[in-house]
Each structure stands twice: as C-alpha cells, then as structure tokens.
A and B are shown apart, each in its own frame.
Chain A
Amino acid sequence: MIDTLRLTAEGAKDLLERGEVSGAELFAAYRAAIGERDEELHCYLHVCDDDGLEASAAKPPTLGRRTGAFGASGGDGIPIAVKDVIGTKGIPTTAGSRILEGYVPVYDATVVARLKEHGLRILGKTNTDEFAMGSSTENSAFGPSRNPWDPSRVPGGSGGGSAAAVSAGLAPWALGSDTGGSIKQPSALCGNVGLRPTYGTVSRFGVVAFASSLDQVGPVAKTVRDCAYLYSILAGRDPNDSTTVDLPHPVELPNGGDDLHGVRIGVPKELNESEGIEPGVAAAVAAAIETLEELGAEVAECSLPLSVEYGMPCYYLIAPAEASSNLARYDGVRYGYRAAAEERLEMYERTRDEGFGDEPKRRIMVGTYALSAGYYDAFYAQAQKVRTVIKREHDALFETFDALVSPTSPTVAFPLGARTADPIAMYLSDLLTIPSCMAGLPGLNVPCGFSEGLPVGLQLIGPQFSENKLFEIGHALEGVLGLDLVPERLR
C-alpha cells in the first residue's frame, strides 16, 4: 500500500531501488489518488493515460545524460506533475487559456526533456491562472483549483494546481513556474516547499512565455531535499535558451545537520511589517525566525526602503509590457484557437478577443499602453530604472547577510471569490515575493507553521546562485519544526 499523501520523491526512489514497488505500480497509485480526490480539487487539466505513460517514459536521444544530485540512476520511475504552461510533446498544453485549447506541442520543453532523461514519468498537466497571470488559479479558463486544506479556499497561484497536487498526494513533486511569486506563494498557501531559482539557471525553452526577463521554472516538493534534487535535474545551461548559464557550483543536497552557526540572516522590516500581513502569519514567521536563532544563526533587522514600496508598481509595468509582446503570437494563424472571420485583421482581433480571458486582456492593454509612444519613458523606462534600485538595495544587504527572511504571502489561503472583483487586491497577494523576483534572486518557500488551521510559509531569499545555502537553512528549519504537512482533512 503506497501512501501518496506522505511519500516523498526520495522515499519513492528508495522503494523503487529496493524493488519494493515498480514504476508502473507507483504511477498507478498516484493515478488512483487523482481519481479519488481530483474531482473536488481540480489540480489537473490533463491526466496522462497509459499511452501517455509510454510517451513520457521514452527518453529523448538528443541530450547527453546528466547526473542529478541523487546520482546517475536517480529518478528512474518517479512520477511528476508538470504545470500546464510547460510544453510537453504529445500531451496537451493550454497555459490555462481557451486560446491554446487543443494545442498539442510537437516538442518538449528542455526542462521536460531533462525530466525524461532522468526517467521521471509525467502524471499530467496542472492547473494555472491563464498564462500564469494570477495568484489564485481563479483566472484559469478551465475553472479554479481548490486548496486541499480547505476546498472553499484558493490554493494560491498561478501554480496552484502543482502546489495543491503535491499537498494532496496527487503527485510526489511537480514543476511550477514563477514570474512574480507563482511558485512560492502557492507553496506557502498549500504547505509545501517551492523554489524560485536564480534567474537564468533553468531553461525557458518550450515554456509558454509571460514576462521573459522574470519567468523561471522551478520545483515544488514536500521536502527541501526533494526540492534540491529536482533543482539539480533542471538547472544548467541550455543551448536553446541563450539567457541560461551553468551553475557556478553543483547542487548539494542538505544533509541532516541543523547547526546554523555562522549563518547571517537579515529580517527586512518592510517585508515583515507590511500592513497587509495577517497577525497569524506574522506570528508564525516570527516564531520560526526565533527558531533559526536558536539553531545558531545570527539574526538582525535590516531594511529595503524602496524595494517593497515600489516593487509592485514596477512589476505591474514590466510584466504586462513583456506580456503584451509575448502574447502577440496568439493570432490564430499557426496554432491554437481561430475565430471565424472573412478577412485577416478581423480574424486576429476576434480570435484574441474570444480566446483570451479578462486578466490577459487587462495586462495586454496595460503593457501596450506602457510601451506606446509618449508613455514609454514615463512608464516602462522608468520601471526599468526602479528595477536597478531594487537590485542595488538587495545587493547591499547581501554584503552583510547570507539570506533574508520574511512571510511569503501576507495572508493564509483566502476564500474563492474574495479577490476576483478587484484586480489590485489580487495583485497584492504577491507584494512580498515580487521585489526579489525583480532582482533575479532565488527564493525558497519553507512551511513554518499554521494560522487558522491553514499553512503559513516563510521565504528565504539569497544572492544569485545561493540555492545551496537556502536549502541548508530551509532543511535545518524543516527538521526542527517537524510539521505534519498532510492536510488535516485528508489524514
């Protein structure tokens, strides 16, 4: 009997290596859990059938086999869920949008090719806000996912499907993508570990583009070690994405120790005392920070005076500007939805009106406006300068600190419908994750407690390429806290 609610990827690997289960049995166990619980939770937009299993197990011949942190054999037969903004050959990929309904990629994203090289098997494609634009999955054209801790609440977004699937035992781990918080925020709201990697360490080739200078694919997992392992599979330069770089040092799996002496952790007051932070969230994070101190870390308050105040407006100019350009490709010509029309311009305009939902339209409009003649300097160019300010503020703190800590989300999971009427209220969900994304920094969500019976997560932010340090701190905290992260109602 495989308990998918508790099995980690590392645990699955052990079972497979000892021959206690086969890859097919493991896959079937997750399929059964999906059959049992996904009707309520709607984590998946597409579940792979046995044919899909065959397709997903086929190893592509084009890339040399790489060695992940679990060793060369690591990964064989472990199932994984993939966010539906990531292209999968032969498996439908919609990005949560009607405009891509029925689209079946003819090639794999590099990250998917790397999963296959390691023998991972794709369980299915997980729900997302349309084009990853949102913080609750309520912008998915195919209906929202629900939080496994309380199905009347959202799982966060945009990668709510991946986070909810991992927490509900519908996948041992998953791929997410993060532009302004879409991995970390849902991981916080569902109670799992999510990494937004350093920009440029994971290929974007074959991933549906939202805001190219911000988009990063990353792992969602039950434990910090699983998260580090999956990152070791994903990271590294890809000739098909010229913005990627090789890691300066290999990924190290954190190894049990909980001694944090010599680790310097900064607590930016603007990220910890922002007025939107719920008291229960602030209390859980403050207690975890005390725990870090008890483990030997040097903890001190610090400040990001402009990053938090100007991060949101900066993000909501740059991301829509890049999105308006990236989404220009959906014109009904080569793939995806096409509206019936007598002439071409009519076809473009009608296809895009009928194919895109409200949020992509809002962002296309804001972005097109911000990039248009007469407004470019005041909006887009100015936002890029603000981005420099944000980067410099963070760089200065990393002269003193190894990592920064704060709540990941200002609130616990909120009820479905609570923020859908007000786009700006929804945007505030990412208030605390956006600044470090603008600076291209890695961030790790680690569950750190509960408020109102719902999970609370903290984010550890480090300088570029500091993932190993974040894993070390996160692993120490996770071990000492020993939280039971299986949703109470499913235990």
Chain B
Amino acid sequence: MAEIDREQLLKVAHLARLELREDEVERLEQQLNDILAAVSKVSELDLSDVPATSHPLEVVNVWDEDEPRPCLPVEEALANAPEREGGFFKVPPGGSA
C-alpha cells in the first residue's frame, strides 16, 4: 500500500506549485495518508483485461471548419489581469518555472 512521507509530500507540492506552510505540511501528511489508504482499495481488483474509460460517452473526434472567427479583443482579454503592460500580462522576472 502506498504511503507518502514528508519528503515525497514536499516533492508533490513542488510539482503542483504549492508553497505549503509548515502547519499545512503536518496536517496534510496525515490526511493524505488517510485518503490514499482509502483510495488504494482500487488495487484489490484484477483488471488486467479491462479497458480504461476516460470518457463516459462514445463520441469520437469532432471536426471544425478551419475558418477564422472573432475572438476576445485584447482589452477584454486583459480586463482581469493582476498586472499588465501595454498588450501583455506582466509577471515578475526569473524563476525556473
């Protein structure tokens, strides 16, 4: 059965781009292990011959005409921007992400 330790938890948090506070790390470690213990139940079943379902309806590719259509004007697209400069979203520099 899967178990998540502090180091793994911090790694997952980094993958999810969550900067957890110390009190959150402690609380989450217990809660995530409880949840993982509950969901690990799916591995009890031998389903090697069963196909996966990713979508409940049997629809296949839907094709669209390749024609230009109006899209959001720049001013509207930027209307909710926390910070902007000209026609761009402005963000702080650097970082490895």
Contact = CB atoms under 8 A, between A and B. Distances in A.
Interface of A: 103-104, 106-107, 199-200, 213, 239, 242-243, 245, 306, 309-310, 312-314, 316-317, 324, 328, 331-338, 341-350, 352-353, 356, 361-362, 364-366, 368-370, 372, 375, 378-379, 381-389, 391, 423-424, 427, 438-441, 464
Given A383-B39, A389-B50, 8 more contacts: A106-B76, A213-B55, A245-B59, A334-B81, A334-B89, A353-B24, A384-B53, A388-B53
Interface string B1-36: 010100011001111111111001000100110111
B46 to A, nearest CB: 10
Contact of B40 (A313, A331, A343): A313
A-B pairs, top 4 by smallest CB distance, nearest first, are A440-B56, A345-B95, A335-B80, A344-B95
Contacts of A388: 47, 50-53
A424 B42 contact: no
Nearest to A464: B57
A245 B57 contact: yes
A353 B35 CA distance: 20
Contact of B56 (A242, A362, A369, A391): A391
A389 B53 CA distance: 9
A378 B35 contact: no
A352 B17 contact: yes
Contact of B31 (A328, A382, A386, A423): A423
B47 A342 contact: no
A440 B59 CA distance: 13
A337 B81 CA distance: 9
A342 B80 contact: no
B32 A213 contact: no
Nearest to B84: A334
Contact of A389 (B4, B21, B45, B93): B45
Interface of A is mostly: helix
B96 A345 contact: yes
B85 interface: no
A317 B39 contact: yes
A107 B62 CA distance: 24
Contacts of B95: 343-348
Given A306-B45, A388-B50, A106 B32 contact: no
Interface string B42-76: 11010100111111110100101000000010001
Interface string B77-90: 10111110000010
A404 to B, nearest CB: 16
A391 B31 CA distance: 30
Interface residues of B, number: 56
Given A331-B17, A347-B92, A362-B32, A372 B52 contact: no
B81 A335 contact: yes
B24 to A, nearest CB: 7
Contacts of B97: 344-345, 348
9 contacts: A103-B80, A338-B83, A344-B92, A345-B95, A379-B2, A385-B52, A387-B52, A387-B53, A389-B45
B68 to A, nearest CB: 15
A266 B80 CA distance: 50
A364 B18 contact: yes
Given A335-B80, A338-B83, A341-B92, A243 B32 contact: no
In this complex, the member of B36, B64, B94 whose beta carbon has the largest number of chain A beta carbons within 10 angstroms is: B36
A369 B59 contact: no
Contact of A372 (B15, B17, B42, B56): B15
B35 A424 contact: yes
B12 to A, nearest CB: 5
A348 B72 contact: no
Given A362-B28, A362-B35, A368-B16, A386 B40 contact: no
Contacts of B2: 375, 378-379
Given A335-B81, A361-B24, A324 B56 contact: no
B91 A353 contact: no
Contact of A364 (B16, B35, B41, B77): B16
Contacts of B51: 385, 388
A353 B18 contact: yes
A331 B24 CA distance: 20
Given A199-B57, A334-B80, A388-B50, A383 B42 contact: yes
Contacts of B81: 334-335
Contacts of A348: 17, 95, 97
B91 A316 contact: no
Given A338-B83, A391-B56, A379 B39 contact: yes
A441 B56 CA distance: 8
B66 to A, nearest CB: 14
A459 B10 CA distance: 41
Contact of B16 (A107, A324, A427): A324
Nearest to A322: B54
B12 A365 contact: yes
B45 A366 contact: no
Contacts of A331: 17
Nearest to A386: B42
A356 B20 CA distance: 11
A171 B57 CA distance: 33
Contacts of A382: 42-43, 45, 47
Nearest to B44: A310
A23 B81 CA distance: 36
